[in-house]
Amino acid sequence: MAVSSPLIDKTALGVVELLKSGEITPLDCLDALEARITLVDKAVNALPTLCFERARAAAKAVMAKPKAERGLLHGLPVAIKDLTDVEGVLTTYGSPAFANHIPAASDPLVERLESEGGVIYAKSNTPEFGAGANTFNEVFGPTLNPWNTSRSAAGSSGGSAVALATGTAWLAHGSDLGGSLRNPASFCGIVGFRPSPGRVATARSAPLENLLSVQGPMARTVEDCAFFLDALSGEDIRDPVSLPKPVTGFLGAARSGWKPKRVAFSADLGITPVDAEVADICRKAAFRFAELGAEVVEAHPDFTGVHDAFNVLRARNFAISKKDLLEQKRDLLKPEVIWNIEKGLALTMADQHRAETQRATLYGRALAFFGQYDLICTPATIVPPFPVGNRYVESCNGIKFDNYVHWLAIAYAFTLVGCPAISIPCGFTSEGLPVGLQIAARQRNDGQVLAGAAGLEGVLGYRRQTPIFPRSG
């Protein structure tokens, strides 16, 4: 097998240090990535849209600046999920309705990254409008799990996760509503972090106050993920819920050495079936927080009502944002998207009142819970990577799910209550497939999640399992 550049195996922080010292240039990074993509991406389809000509022009512009003005990323290449606009680059949202769409302007998120010296070189694959936690669409086809290419990479940030796992990215952007940063991280053996709502500013359309969907970082290590969040975060007037940068940076938080005193573990949050092997792997990993001096017990907040509240609020957002698209291009939309929009259009004010009331109650319960525990750990996903041909998980442990997102409850429970949550690698199944541990903390306590995850990452020892070459089933 052809040999990749030694740069591919390095962490993002390691590559940035080489860029700062002048030992390499951003153009060297792009050359290494282009060669690696040629070598491995045809087997997994993680990065279907490349823009290396644009990237090299951007890299030269970064190199022309004094070193002190090259930003936090210093010319490091970054992959952007295909739900987010990049000026002049094909952006399809995974939908045939936008198969030829080229935005005239970039999302504020992309503008911020470029202002920090990030170089955009690729768009990562995603399911249509991010709907469904299995990355396939009618524009580019499926993205395959590199640990076993007959299996799903999950989603909706599946392309980004696979790019990281196969060494075609050092940092990759994603987004998360029902676990879309955490599920693919779990399935692919990398790190995906859902930050607090507003932590990463982005373009807003109706509904403006949507706090369910967030943008966030993916990387191979917790420190790289925290570093990427430092580059992504910050206030922007175009995003009315955006937050200012914290006084202490996220990389600083990850490196702070903070250790939790009390950690809770729950295999199911009381709301979902879980594969027995996944639960066992995650339980053993969570209880290793004891090696950092923490008391670890089995406990969780009361999440009664979470399914109804999430389904109603998710459907409402689909209806508000995509009603016109349904009317104009229904024949180009996949069934799950149509179902979500129509479900939203059928909601009554009573439905919405019930869901908002439930959400407020759940938020209060979570806040009270984190008055007793610093962190809570759960499986990031309830099953190991499933066959890629299955559109979604229909059942687990003999329990059939009501709809195509119900199997994501262990992730969307924390979405609904606004908690930051991360997935880190915590072990492998008997088939050699990755399992991710979800770690969450009190609302807006992103730094504590990163510090706890960094500490446990060191204990578990799975930090350098990727990048890998794709492995056939």
Distances, alpha carbon 209 to alpha carbons 23, 55, 244, 320, 445, in Å: 45, 33, 17, 12, 20
The catalytic residue among 180, 186, 213, 423 is 180
Judge whether 156 counts as a catalytic residue. Answer: yes
In the chain, the N- to C-terminal Cα span, in Å, equals 18
Q: Strands of 191-194's sheet, edge to edge? A: 49-50, 119-124, 77-81, 172-176, 214-219, 191-194, 421-428, 434-440, 375-379, 262-265, 295-298
Distances, alpha carbon 187 to alpha carbons 6, 229, 406, in Å: 25, 21, 18
Q: Using CA atoms, how far apart are residues 441 and 423, in angstroms rounded to an integer?
A: 12
- What number of residues does the chain have? 473
Q: Reduced to 3 states, what is the DSSP secondary structure of residue 237?
A: coil
Q: Which amino acid is at 31?
A: D
The catalytic residue among 95, 106, 152, 156 is 156
Residue 427 host element (H or E): strand 421-428
Q: Using CA atoms, how far apart are residues 379 and 425, in angstroms rounded to an integer?
A: 10
DSSP assignment of 272-302: S---HHHHHHHHHHHGGGGGGT-EEEE----
Please name the residue that has the structure tokens 């066992």.
280
Judge whether 124 counts as a catalytic residue. Answer: no
Buried b (16+ CB within 10 A) or exposed e, 337-369: bbbbbebbeebeeebeebbeebbeebbebbeeb
Q: Helices in 417-473 by DSSP H: which ranges? A: 446-460
Q: Using CA atoms, how far apart are residues 31 and 253, in angstroms rounded to an integer?
A: 33
- Beta carbons within 8 Å of 46's beta carbon, 6+ residues apart: 124, 125, 143, 153, 158, 159, 160, 162, 163, 166, 168
Judge whether 81 counts as a catalytic residue. Answer: yes
Q: Which residues are catalytic?
A: 81, 156, 180
